[in-house]
A and B are shown apart, each in its own frame.
Chain A
Amino acid sequence: MAQQSGIFHEDYRSDLQLRPTTMQRLRLVLLFVFLFGMPVFAGSLEMRYANNILIALIGSIGLNILVGFTGQISLGQGAFLAVGAYSSGLLVVYLNVPWYLSILLAGAITALIGGFFGLPSLRLKGLYLAVATLAAQQIVQWVLRNWDPIDGDINQRVGEALNIPAANFFGHRLNDNEYAFYFVVLFFAVLAVLAATNLFRTHIGRAFIAIRDQDIAAEVMGVHLFRYKLLAFATSSFFVGVAGALLAQHSTSISWESFTINVSIQYLAMIIIGGLGSVSGSIYGAIFITLLPQIIRGLGNGIEDALQLVASAESQLAAHFAERFQDLLPRIEQGAFGLAIILTLILEPEGLRKLWQNIKDYFRLWPFSY
């Protein structure tokens, strides 16, 4: 692990620590105080966004394991999320499996299916693999739309949305309750971050990285390519399946419309903007992509309010402009979303993780930066 100079380890135990310095530990404590304190001061809308971010974070860590760490491109993220969501939903609805078990089982089922769709990865690389995973996206979507899982009929589904009954969380209703749900997602998110961080300190994680950097060299060194590529697909899909299951439990009603190719692309955007091959990058990306539309909307509404204030001060032109702006705002929002992504990438192609690193370095070296 790269560290600034002046930090010395005297035994293996301290060498293996994830957070070796006091500053880092202090930051971690502050982060946890913030995370656990959040429900005290946040409204249910903020809690909803927090939940969305935490779910997206688990999914993007999963995708980053596959794309960022192992170098296998996947466009099937939406499909794997759907598999997780439907597995969890169907298990709860038809087999009365407790919701917490259903989330773990959904992860396992998605890992199996993800592993299956990872089979072509032995022969295909790069864009070719991307197209193969695109097929996974299409196949899963088709099955969801046309197959009734209960009577096995094809093409006879009428009510498209799968409704999931209320889950109980220490006597609180879990679904539709952003506060209770927050602790559930937080638990899974912390677990996911810990698991992923530690994964890349084991021989399995090292093998993934070796495959990404140079697959032939990895094989020569004794990495069983097929096994580890499949393992990467399965591990990644497990995370994504858990994220999908949480999505289902969060929303209480799922339909295939929430898991289209757009979702796959959105998740790819998260890890590219956040930083490929980095767990913290996945976190920053998830926060950025989930909050960006809200921030742009907030900015837009702020400008609109300001315009209306000017308008009420009897300026005809401002009144006219305020009205036009209100009509144009949704279009501007769409454009601004794309613009913000492009600007982030131009500013720092290595993603938000690097950006944050730069900021930290700047203050660490200030005022004697070179």
Chain B
Amino acid sequence: MYRKLLFLILITAIVPVSGALADGHSIKIGAIFDLTGPTSDVGTSYAEGVRAYVDWVNGNGGIGGMEVELFWEDYAYSVPNAEDLYTQFVEQGVVAFSGWGTGDSEALRGRIAEDQVPFVSASYSAALNDPNDSAPYNFLVGTTYSDQLVIMLQYMMDQWSADGNDLAEMRVAFFHHDSPFGTSPLADGEAVAEMNGVATVRVAMPRGATDLSAELENADNQLGGMTHIIIQNVSSPAALLIRNATEIGMSEFVQIGCLNWCSDEILVELAGDAAEGVLGALPFGPHTVPVEGQTDPAAWLEANGSSLAETSLHFTQGWWTMAVILEGVRLVVESGDELTGANVKAALESLDGFSTGGVTSDTITFTPEDHRGNRSLIIFAVDMGEWQAVSDVINLREMPMSDES
């Protein structure tokens, strides 16, 4: 038995030697994904999209003849894991980073600024848009959660008024993921609601819950007759909430809306008929509304034995997020400057009207003062099991009201 033990100990001692075989002629990008944690339902196809884009770029000659090398690991939605992996990848020399959750992106932002590593996460928390102070290296490719919530609320209020109702009778419950990700947009949403005389309440959705009827009843009682629900959560718990709302007969008179992490094919599949009529804030359009920006992802998927219909819209989301990161890298490489994080940051800040081929409702533009790439949305709704657009582009950049939320 002890011989086996000694063998184990020997292995442990040898393991750290295995590392990446890196040469000086590749572009190193770091990434963390959630493949096994609580947001893995949407994280898996996002991760596939990010990796697919890198594969696609390399298949098309790389950037300036250099190969893009992606260092990635699953971090299971744990902040300490994210910090460890970030340290590891930065030590391995990555020039930009693709992150994931709100909690870990917020935890890392100080270190990101110190290390000068441009960081594009899948978290669209408005708190990460602080280029001149706490978060100079964080960039948000998608519409921020706050902007999503404001636009969704605006759309609901317009519909409510158009149906001949009084805004004073509109009562909205914000059902949110029990984390910084879930609570990040709520204060901005509450401010807009208050301005319009709309009553609101916050309800945290406990992790791992199997029934949310009690939370629904509770919110209904607190509001004295709930008229709208806006969900800031990932697809699986959101689908549960929508099914429960149908089961207790609530969805007949309550309009439900989802922000981006639950507006996807997974929600439709899990909630089934109950999802009909649910509104969605989709910063990255679904495959059911074909646009030019889906051609390349679709071709890559076909070459790898899959299709857009089989994966989820988070695949194109990951694809175009990585496209924005590598566009910054490409600009630096083509200008002949040294490839450093600071230069990539400057290049990203010069990005003006980067086209995602219509996948996002607006082109991506960063400035040194504003790292929100896109402040617009199209509201979608589930119609016969498919996401279809129900509004035009609603762009907050063109609205004076929400200049600074």
Contact = CB atoms under 8 A, between A and B. Distances in A.
Q: Is the interface of A mostly helix, strand, loop or mixed?
A: helix
Contacts of B216: none
Question: How big is chain A's contact interface, by range?
Answer: 35 or more
B87 A48 contact: yes
A168 interface: no
Interface string A293-305: 1110111011001
Contact of A251 (B83, B134, B187, B202): B83
Interface residues of B, number: 40
B107 A359 contact: no
A52 B87 CA distance: 13
B103 A298 contact: no
Interface in A337-370: 347, 355, 358-359, 362
Nearest to A363: B2
B183 A160 contact: yes
A215 interface: no
A305 B186 CA distance: 45
B2 A52 contact: no
A163 B134 contact: yes
B192 interface: no
Given A176-B114, A252-B110, A305-B18, A161 B2 contact: no
A255 B36 contact: no
Contact of B180 (A255, A297, A298, A330): A255
Interface stretch (B72-80, B155-163, B323-331, B335-343): B72-80
B116 to A, nearest CB: 12
A305 B21 CA distance: 9
B256 interface: no
A298 B15 contact: yes
Contacts of B81: 293
A48 B84 contact: yes
Interface string B1-28: 1100100000110011010010000000
Contacts, number: 98
A213 interface: no
A334 interface: yes
Interface string A167-183: 00000000110100000
Contacts of B134: 163
Interface in A32-51: 43-46, 48-49
A15 interface: no
B107 A253 contact: yes
A257 B110 CA distance: 18
Interface string A107-129: 00000000000000000000000
B268 interface: no
A299 B10 CA distance: 13
Given A160-B103, A253-B110, A258-B80, A331 B18 contact: no
Contacts of B220: none
A294 B187 CA distance: 39
A3 interface: no
Interface of B: 1-2, 5, 11-12, 15-16, 18, 21, 35-36, 73-74, 76, 79-81, 83-84, 87-88, 91, 103, 106-111, 114, 127, 134, 178-180, 183-184, 186-187, 202
Given A158-B186, A160-B106, A295-B12, 5 more contacts: A46-B16, A159-B127, A160-B179, A253-B108, A298-B16
